[in-house]
Amino acid sequence: MNEEKSGQMNELGDMGAMAWVNAGLTARYRRERRFKFFGLAAIAASLMFLVLLLGAIAIKGYTAFRQTQILLDIHFAPAVFDVHNLASANYAALVRDATLSLFPQAMDRQDRRAAIKLVSIGAAYQLQEMVTRKPELIGATKPIWVLAAGEVDMFVKGHISRDVTENERRISDKQATWIDQLAASGRLRQTFNATFFQAGDSRESELAGIRGAVMGSFFTLAVTLAFSFPIGVAAAVYLEEFAPKNRWADLIEVNINNLAAVPSIVFGLLGLAVFLNCMNLPRSASLVGGLVLTLMTLPTIIIASRASLRSVPSSIREAALGIGASQMQTVVHHVLPLSMPGMMTGAIIGMARALGETAPLLMIGMVAFIVDVPRGFSDPATVLPVQIYLWANNPERAFVERTAAAIMVLLLLLLAINASAVLLRNKFERRW
């Protein structure tokens, strides 16, 4: 054996086989290192873009979670109130009087208007709510923190620069002086922006919140899940376990895969034509949004569910059939429970996609400006990504940070959903 080998080596020439191998070895290793480097570089590039994106959003958006407030000494003058109808009192006048009392030097009409503009119109609603809850306030004078106007908030946060000329910024020099006065006398503070999480949309930036959009997203996704999961699983089970494998099955499979790649706006148009025009379902409702997203999510869920069913080894089916289980018993008792984690993972990923979907919802009117937080499936609603789209179109500086903040909330929700999918998979995944 050894003699044979050495004989071969001699045939290769004086260098011998190992020398040839060694000569090529360095080049081989170099190629390998280069290959690894390219892979690493690709990962680094994508990570960089991700950090850039998230960083930009976070830097733009984090200030939205703080909100400027102004301390006003409100005198609940009894003359303003009608005991039988507390809601109709002129609360704006109370706010106006309290504001003007802070700035006695604002004498002329223009100055007074500028001073009043420092406080949000939401302050009146705040007082109304306080009095309705606690009527004994009438007659008293109380220091109350009220929302500052959006421009004041921007100015305090430094988003409106003092350096630009007066007519190019939305806070006049006089207003700036007043704001500085308020800050100096401790009548200005920044607190957690609870309004952002509790309110619906608003034209006033300081009153705008994502509650409406979040609830809209919730209702829409509930409808989507309720329709798409059972239908998708049933379709997958039939196609995978019962359907005869013939030309029709292939045709259906091709079509399902195709549907998964159809642009979502097309589903929106379909929803507009079928659900709104034919079935006369309410416009802008999360019910219709959910149905449209069901159409869009179904292929994803069917494909994931079929893959999950296919991953159950046929030996389990044979075992069940071999002791006389019927086809349905085999599926329901054995195959379905084993493939359920995979199906649920697929459904969750489908839901995550549906949560981020905008285009089809524009077609069915979910892009309307809706102030009220939806309370049911037929209420007019909007969803988070559409809210982001709406705010991004708003030129006001305060909406820029709110857009970013809404994106952060959406990303967090998506992260939570995807993390739950991963957890589910790790917990129930079975290796065969």
Partner 1 sequence: MTMILDVALGMAEVAAVKRSGADMAVVAEVRKVDRDQRQTVGLPFVEAPRMICREVNVYYGDKHAIKNVSIDVGKNEVLAMIGPSGCGKSTFLRCLNRMNDTVAGCRVTGDILLDDLNIYDRKVDVVPLRARVGMVFQKPNPFPKSIFDNVAYGPKIHGLAASRAELQDIVESSLQKAGLWDEVSDRLDQPGTGLSGGQQQRLCIARAIAVRPEVILMDEPCSALDPIATATVEDLITELKAQYTIVIVTHNMQQAARVSQRTAYFHLGDLVEVGSTDRIFTNPRHQLTEDYITGRFG
Is residue 12 part of the contact set for partner 1 (CB under 8 A)?
no
Rule CB under 8 A: choose which of 66, 75, 159, 334 binds partner 1.
334
Distance from C-alpha of 358 to C-alpha of 385, rounded to nearest angstrom:
6
Stretch near partner 1 under the rule CB under 8 A, chosen from 170-178, 331-339, 350-358, 418-426: 331-339
Closest contact distance (angstroms) between CB of 316 and partner 1 is: 6
Q: Does the footprint of partner 1 cover residue 158 (CB under 8 A)?
A: no
Stretch that binds partner 1, among 58-66, 177-185, 255-263, 324-332 (CB under 8 A): 324-332
Q: Which residue number, 129 or 318, has a Cβ lying nearer to partner 1?
A: 318
Smallest distance from the beta carbon of 337 to partner 1, in angstroms? 9
For partner 1, give the closer residue by CB, 312 or 388: 312
CB of 319 to partner 1, least distance (A): 4
Looking at the Cβ atoms of 109 and 431, the one nearer to partner 1 is 431
> Which residue lies nearer to partner 1 by CB, 259 or 316?
316
36 binds partner 1 (CB under 8 A): no
Choice from 17, 321, 362, 424 touching partner 1 (CB under 8 A): 321
Least separation in angstroms between CB 237 and partner 1: 16
- From residue 279, give the alpha-carbon distance in Å to each of 273, 282, 283, 287, 360: 9, 9, 11, 12, 17
Quote the least distance from Cβ 212 to partner 1, whole Å: 46
- Contact between residue 373 and residue 212 where contact means Cβ atoms under 8 Å apart: yes
Please pick, from the candidates 6, 46, 110, 329, the single residue that binds partner 1 as defined by CB under 8 A.
329
Among 317, 340, 353, 356, the residue binding partner 1 under the rule CB under 8 A is 317
From 21-29, 151-159, 301-309, 317-325, give the range in contact with partner 1 by CB under 8 A: 317-325
Among residues 175, 109, 94, the alpha carbon closest in space to that of 140 is found at 94
φ and ψ of 200, to 5 deg: -85, -165
How many residues of this chain bind partner 1 (CB under 8 A)? 20
Of 36 and 430, nearer to partner 1 (C-beta) is 430
Site for partner 1 (CB under 8 A): which residue of 27, 83, 278, 323?
323
318 scored as a contact of partner 1 (CB under 8 A):
yes
> C-beta of 240: minimal distance to partner 1 in Å?
13
**Site membership for partner 1, residue 164 (CB under 8 A):** no
**Residue type (1 letter), 18:** M
Residue 117 vs 317, nearer CB to partner 1: 317
In the shown chain, the binding pattern of residues 225 to 264 toward partner 1, with x for contact by CB under 8 A and - for none, equals -------------------xx-------------------
Q: Does 324 bind partner 1 (CB under 8 A)?
A: yes
Paired strand residues for 146: 70
Tokens representing 412? 């967090």
- The smaller minimum CB distance to partner 1, of residues 28 and 333, is found at 333
Task: Provide the minimum distance between the beta carbon of 380 and partner 1 in the complex, in angstroms, as a whole number.
Answer: 48
Show contacts with partner 1 in window 336-355 (CB under 8 A): 338
Specify the residue for token string 């239908």.
231
Q: Is residue 425 part of the contact set for partner 1 (CB under 8 A)?
A: no
| Interface residues toward partner 1, by CB under 8 A | 244-245, 313, 315-326, 329, 333-334, 338, 430
